[in-house]
């Protein structure tokens, strides 16, 4: 099972940077989302693959035509309003955001929105309360769990394949980022900077062997002309800008070599009675165990 996802956000929606994190400044920055989204849609066209697009509300509000264009052919989900990490929000703030942004995307697209991804995979073991809110607000599918160490989130004890999260308000079906165990470490190879940095031959080999792959790509991952955020550390610059020039060709190759589906199609193929069920407590317990 190969699932393709895109996080529709601008080049400046990189978390925790002094230069760009203030949403008040965003209107002054260069707009690159049209060209970059078209690059993705063109690559997908005629590929026979489907994808789920998680859209930032700030983009949807300013450029509703992008939401309309995507939703005519593909499934859409929310990527929050202002791309703020879940751990930086109070539960009340998060609830309002989820509710408002689902409504915004539904009003523009005319489609029901039941999928969500947190910015920077920012639902950690300490933010498991977020799943109660997501379930209460009608989210059925979540793709916010990163089963490894991540700069802005990550739950290292989480499964590498779809699982159920039992919340107080019902079950959320989780589609985590796929990973590979190598020398005792959880290695991510199929999204964002990992997608750009991992050599294609290795990615193809590992994906070919894995029963579950979830690929996540941002429009900026394929934009070598984007402005450089100077306040990023050298390591973060490498992670943010390495391999930009080759990523579009890599995506096209991936679409030639693999058939991808979206999250709701994947849901129908999974026997949910036989997958693991976790709840906030057990994930948290595992996380604590890993930290010891």
Residues at the interface with Zn ion (CB under 5 A)? 7, 9, 119
CA distance 194 to 128: 25
- Residue that the structure tokens 């309360």 belong to: 129
State in angstroms the smallest separation of the CB of 275 from Zn ion.
26
Cβ proximity to Zn ion, 7 vs 137, nearer residue: 7
Distance, in Å, from the CA atom of 252 to the CA atom of 125, rounded to the nearest integer, reads: 35
Q: How far is the CB of 8 from Zn ion (least distance, A)?
A: 9
Provide, rounded to whole angstroms, the least separation between the CB of residue 117 and Zn ion: 7
Q: How far is the CB of 182 from Zn ion (least distance, A)?
A: 26
Residue 262 structure tokens: 């979206």
Q: Where are the alpha helices (DSSP H) in 119-213?
A: 129-136, 192-197, 200-209
What are the tokens at 57? 């509300």
Residue closer to Zn ion by CB (options 7, 21) is 7
Nearer Cβ to Zn ion (113/280): 113
3-state secondary structure of 278: strand
Nearer Cβ to Zn ion (157/219):
219
Output 9 or 262, the one with its CB closest to Zn ion: 9
At 93, list the tokens.
């703030």
Using the minimum distance from each CB to Zn ion, give the nearer residue, 29 or 272: 29
Consecutive H or E run containing 55: strand 52-55
We find the least distance from the C-beta atom of residue 9 to Zn ion, in angstroms, to be 5
d(CA 154, CA 144): 9
Q: Least CB distance from residue 60 to Zn ion, whole Å?
A: 14
State the DSSP code for 273. T
């Amino acid at each position: 099972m190969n699932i393709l996802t895109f996080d529709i956000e601008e080049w400046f929606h990189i978390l925790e940077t002094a230069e760009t994190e203030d949403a008040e400044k965003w209107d002054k920055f260069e707009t690159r989302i049209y060209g970059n989204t078209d690059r993705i849609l063109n690559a997908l066209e005629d590929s026979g693959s489907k994808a789920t697009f998680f859209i930032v509300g700030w983009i949807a509000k300013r450029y509703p035509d992008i939401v309309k264009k995507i939703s005519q052919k593909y499934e859409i989900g929310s990527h929050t309003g202002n791309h703020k990490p879940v751990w930086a929000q109070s539960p009340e703030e998060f609830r309002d955001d989820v509710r408002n942004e689902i409504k915004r995307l539904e009003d523009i697209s005319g489609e029901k929105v039941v999928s969500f991804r947190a910015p920077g995979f920012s639902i950690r073991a300490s933010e498991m309360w977020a799943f109660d809110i997501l379930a209460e607000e009608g989210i059925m599918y979540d793709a916010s769990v990163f089963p490894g160490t991540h700069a802005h989130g990550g739950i290292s004890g989480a499964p590498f394949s779809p699982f159920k999260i039992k919340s107080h308000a019902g079950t959320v079906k989780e589609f985590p980022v796929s990973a590979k165990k190598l020398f005792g470490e959880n290695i991510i190879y199929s999204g964002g900077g990992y997608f750009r940095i991992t050599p294609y031959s290795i990615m193809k080999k590992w994906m070919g062997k894995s029963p579950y792959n979830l690929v996540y790509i941002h429009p900026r991952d394929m934009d070598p002309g984007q402005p450089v955020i100077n306040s990023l550390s050298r390591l973060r610059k490498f992670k943010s800008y390495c391999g930009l020039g080759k990523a579009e060709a890599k995506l096209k190759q991936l679409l030639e070599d693999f058939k991808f589906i979206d999250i709701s199609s994947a849901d129908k193929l999974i026997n949910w009675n036989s997958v693991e069920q976790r709840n906030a407590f057990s994930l948290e317990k595992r996380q604590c165990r890993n930290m010891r």
